[in-house]
Copies of this chain bind each other. A is one copy, B any other.
Amino acid sequence: MEFAITFKGDISPKRTVALCQQAEVAGFKYAWLFDSHVLWRECYVTMAMCMEHTDTLRYGPCVTNPGVRDWSVAASMFATLAQQSGGRFDMGVGRGDSSRRVLGRKPLTVETMVEFCDAVRGMIRGDTVRYDEDTAEVQIPWADGFELPVWIAAYGPKALAAAGAHADGLILQMADPWLCQWFIGQAMEGGLAAGRDMSGYRVMSAAPAWVGDMDKARDQTRWFPAMVGNHVADIVEKYGKSSDEVPQRLTDYIAGRKGYDYHHHADINADHLGFITDDIIDSFGVLGTAEQHVAKIKELEAAGVTQFNIYLMCGEEERILAEYAEHILPHFQ
């Protein structure tokens, strides 16, 4: 099990750097950043800053999308970050959620997301790529052959299959072991169907973690299942509540959902959290004593998760990292 953190881009630049250093010293492997440029600070120049103050920590968006930058701009930026950091850059990607919705736009299709992955990987490697009929072929003359690791974020059957078939890793935004296993199975099937060797496939479970009292833990992380609910609602809408493809466990919790204000995305104090039950909070995040964290992360490991990624945005971030460093990571080494 490797450990990661994710920032949403609202912590001061200086504190962000200090947290990255604390995480690196503690043995964390990745610092991911939300790529949602209106809601929070732009993540790529933040990564560039943090890279200068760390030696081994890897960085990447969790997640970017194909719909707010020209694809050659994305490729150039990612390739530059890789060159500046000695290759410490991965791309997490999805169809475009909050980054697009706050602009009044919809997520893109799974197909577009896969094309984006291929185009960006190709341009970063140095291939000549045509990604748009109205745009000339692009070949980055300073590319150095870097093979961009790609992680795809998925909930729905189609995206899961695409993640298995086209990515190095799968991003699951939740820490419910049963659901993780169910999602991972679909990605694996997708990969095998595409004829890939899935033995080195990587799976990230991304979720808030709170070490301490359970009541406080729930208060600090209630926003998370609400956020996940957006994606679940999309799936339920598309595949139907009673579909074989969507487990009842996943659909039940959004039954009481009444709307979601993207301007309070990932916000502890949002107004749209009413429908979230304690049961769902406990299941989607990692909460409680250090022992409870260790036990749950072991369950995730058994379910096929290879990276536990803390959504470090619930308060007392330095303490949470410190608790992980002292009491939790040592159980996974």
Interface set of A (CB-CB < 8 Å, partner B): 9-10, 12-15, 17-18, 21-22, 24-26, 37-42, 44-49, 51-53, 68-70, 72-73, 76-77, 79-81, 83-84, 102-105, 134-136, 138-142, 263, 316, 318-319, 321-323, 325-326
Contacts and interface: CB of A to CB of B under 8 A. Distances in A.
A70 B69 CA distance: 6
A80 B68 CA distance: 17
Interface of A is mostly: helix
Contacts of A323: 319
A318 B142 contact: no
A138 B38 contact: yes
B18 A138 contact: no
Contacts of A325: 318
A49 B46 contact: no
A223 to B, nearest CB: 16
Contacts of A80: 41-42, 45-46
Contact of A44 (B14, B44, B102): B44
A252 to B, nearest CB: 32
B39 A141 contact: yes
This chain: copies in complex = 4
A9 to B, nearest CB: 8
Nearest to A46: B80
A234 to B, nearest CB: 19
Closest 5 CB pairs of A and B: A104-B136, A48-B48, A318-B322, A319-B322, A37-B76
Contact of A41 (B105, B142, B263, B322): B142
Contacts of A318: 22, 26, 318-319, 321-322, 325-326
A131 to B, nearest CB: 10
A13 B84 contact: yes
B21 A18 contact: yes
A321 B316 CA distance: 11
Contacts of A44: 44-45, 48, 77
B76 A41 contact: yes
